[in-house]
Chain A
């Protein structure tokens, strides 16, 4: 009986994390369209509800009632499995994300590695989608994506190793608490290049502009999801936005001190709070949208060159520097 209660309680906790997340995922495309609209001196969606606020609901209704077409020669099982793997990976990673000192679903000692492992499962959704569609464009998109994700995972992993050396732990809560003591103790100060590389690699990992050659509509129509329609397409879409939020969350936890306040020591505004965390996450999400409004798409060979020949050497050098600082005791943050 007590085990049953534990299971139910865990399910409630999972819902408490995932439902607000899904709401955020629903309204992030609206924010994207609005913000990019204003950046381009347009208004953006403004017809559904006051100032277009109900647009996500209209979109969801539309997608739900559309037919899901399955190509004739497609592998039906894998074709429908692919979007599910994508959304599973995007949601499962949230199990170890802490929202404050005590507010965490699973306080595991390998939190950071777990997020890395689960988010690397996401590439399968794209590969399987590309292959099961039995379409050349989809397969090309999947190939591009697989090569890009594997390449950028290395630079991203190295950037995270820097944080692990700095905090002496893989536990996300411990990593945040290692940055206590004011804005200078945040890891974005000693590890600024790692933060920049982490976020750019993360943009590449989530296949967002300017690294969205996977979709590259001018070359391969819509890339890996060219054959998908209706809800199956919507699930890919949801997974992409959930991954964006996840990556922004990780960047704020690892480099910007998570829920810690930038004004530590001052009463009221110096208190650690989930609002600081959400503010930092929103900042990174804004960067995503800003990139999309600003940069043209990268050429494929330039993406590869940037990942292998620029980012990896920089991260290795900075990693050595951080390790030296920690070993020699020059680190000013709490080690």
Chain B
């Protein structure tokens, strides 16, 4: 049963991953990437890494890809211009591809595939969220904090790079709007409703 589920999800994963780099339309490529993330999260659930799986969906599917799609939909991608320098950039692209493939092979070599006994399934009471939290805030507390500070710096940098103060914007101040009193806006005028019209 588990094997069957595994093969179903990995087939979808592979098809979607190929679609990411082959489809013409940028929006469809981004949506295929969403499918890749989602199915890989499903595979992680099979590995009993449910916290990581759900976090993958929350972070990448729920936030990163939404913003990504946002951008891709707004800009008008002209595929003709994108194709122009294909031969010019091909050598550099191939070089990068070879280097990346070599790096990946070094990290995940043959020792990662087979030869290991599968870890025993944990009892139902095992809570890998709590385990992860305990390790993250004790053994790896410094790397964790440093990583979060780096992320914070990146956030501040991204905002300060894109923040431009334009002159002459008409902006409302909500505090001022809330603080407004009736006397500031309304003037009560006593208008006599009945008046003698002078006869000609």
Residues on A close to B: CB < 8 A? 3, 78, 108-110, 113-114, 116-118, 120-121, 123-124, 127-128, 130-131, 139, 142-143, 146-147, 149-150, 153, 170, 302, 305
Contacts and interface: CB of A to CB of B under 8 A. Distances in A.
Given A110-B51, A110-B54, A120-B63, A143 B34 contact: no
B73 A121 contact: no
15 contacts: A109-B127, A109-B128, A110-B50, A110-B51, A117-B62, A118-B57, A120-B61, A120-B62, A123-B66, A124-B34, A130-B73, A131-B69, A131-B73, A142-B73, A146-B69
Secondary structure at the B interface, as helix, strand, loop or mixed, is: helix
A117 B54 contact: yes
Contacts of B55: 113
Given A143-B73, A143-B74, A120 B127 contact: no
Contact of B1 (A3, A117, A124, A149): A3
A109 B58 contact: no
A120 B73 contact: no
Contacts of B127: 109
Interface residues of B, number: 26
Interface of B: 1, 27-28, 31, 34, 38, 50-51, 54-55, 57-58, 61-63, 66-67, 69-70, 73-74, 127-130, 174
A121 B1 contact: no
Given A120-B58, A120-B62, 13 more contacts: A78-B28, A109-B50, A110-B50, A113-B55, A113-B58, A116-B58, A120-B57, A121-B62, A130-B73, A139-B73, A146-B69, A150-B66, A153-B62
B27 A131 contact: yes
A106 B63 CA distance: 25
Given A108-B50, A117-B57, A121-B57, A127 B129 contact: no
B74 A150 contact: no
A109 B127 CA distance: 6
A127 B69 CA distance: 8
Contacts of A3: 1
A110 B27 contact: no
Contacts of A121: 38, 57, 61-62
